[in-house]
Amino acid sequence: MPRFFVPAAQVHGQTAVIGGRDADHLARSLRMRPGETVVVVEEGRREHGVVLESVSPQEVGGRIVWSRDVTGEPALEVHVVQAIPAKGMDETVEALALAGATAIWPVLTTRGVARPYPRRVTARLERWRVIAREAAQLAGRARPPTLHPTLPLDAALRALPDGCLILACVIDAPGATTGVRFDAGRPVAVVIGPEGGLDERDRGVLRAAHATDVHLGSRVMPARLAGFLAVSLLLASAGDLDVAVAPPPRP
């Protein structure tokens, strides 16, 4: 069932309104018609089943037939500190949003080849946020992951939530990601290096931040997809993947 995020102001009593890009997508791409049902997620707090009553590329309106607390969000908070790959960061952002990442921190590392042009930084961040939002809706999540501005690795590590458990993914680590033990309520950050791995200077920065080295298994993943695997392994270890998608209530 198609899912759309909306501000609380677009939910009034037993009606909901979808506007902007989502209305255009619903009307032109999905070609939905009055009488069909979508899910509207109200600012990550409540989700509503909405039977469409009016559909246009400018605005879609409908009647709420059921409501419940949001579903689809992992209990474990996973931040991904991602070295920007030479190619495929759009794909990386999409995959991380689908996997269940809480936040994405694009970073510049010593060995990374991606260096943003100042004039493109804002436009690129906005594009990534659009991609993350659309992927999170597709995945049935309650909210998109937060997309932070690009930072040097050390600055991103300092900006992580207090008490965050930091894991650095390196191929020669003695411990597996699946062996990590979590404290209830403690956020986790997983650091993904660039093509060729993390430089020794970057690993020194990680040691100073008290990061723990972990590996992702016996196969080497490309930088653009390693974060997807890491998030999936962490959430599986935390039991998040033991629960199936919640079916919609009966109206």
pLDDT for 103 equals: 99
DSSP 97-155: HHHT-SEEEEEE-SS------HHHHHHHHHHHHHHHHHHHHHTT-SSPPEEPPPEEHHH
Q: How far is the CA of 242 from the CAs of 2, 137, 156, 238, in angstroms? A: 23, 21, 31, 9
* Residue 113 predicted with pLDDT over 70: no
CATH 2.40.240.20 fits 3-69, yes or no: yes
> Could you tell me which residues come within 8 angstroms of residue 67 by beta carbon, excluding any fewer than 6 positions away?
46, 47, 48, 49
Q: What is the mean pLDDT of residues 77-86?
A: 95
Average pLDDT over residues 57-83: 97
Q: Two tokens at 78?
A: 């996973």
**What is the spatial distance between Cα 99 and Cα 214, in angstroms, rounded to a whole number?**
19
pLDDT at 117 over 70: no
- Per the structure block, which two tokens stand in for 89? 């960061």
More confidently predicted of 102 and 183:
102
Question: And the tokens for 183?
Answer: 């404290």
> SS3 of 228, please?
helix
Question: How many whole angstroms separate alpha carbon 124 and alpha carbon 101?
Answer: 19
Is 68 in contact with 34 (CB distance < 8 Å)? no
CB of 124 closer than 8 Å to CB of 93: no
The highest-level CATH class for domain 78-238 is alpha beta
**Percentage of the chain surpassing pLDDT 90?**
85
Inter-CA distances, 120 with 14, 117, 125, 149, Å = 42, 5, 9, 12
- For residue 244, the one-letter residue type is A
Question: What is the predicted pLDDT for the residue at 203?
Answer: 96
Q: E strand or H helix at 165, and its extent? A: strand 165-169
Integer Cα distance of 180 and 149 in angstroms: 28
- Residue 118's pLDDT band (cuts 50, 70, 90): low
pLDDT 10s digits, 133-168: 999 999 999 999 999 999 999 999 999 999 999 999
Task: Give domain limits for the chain.
Answer: 3-69, 78-238
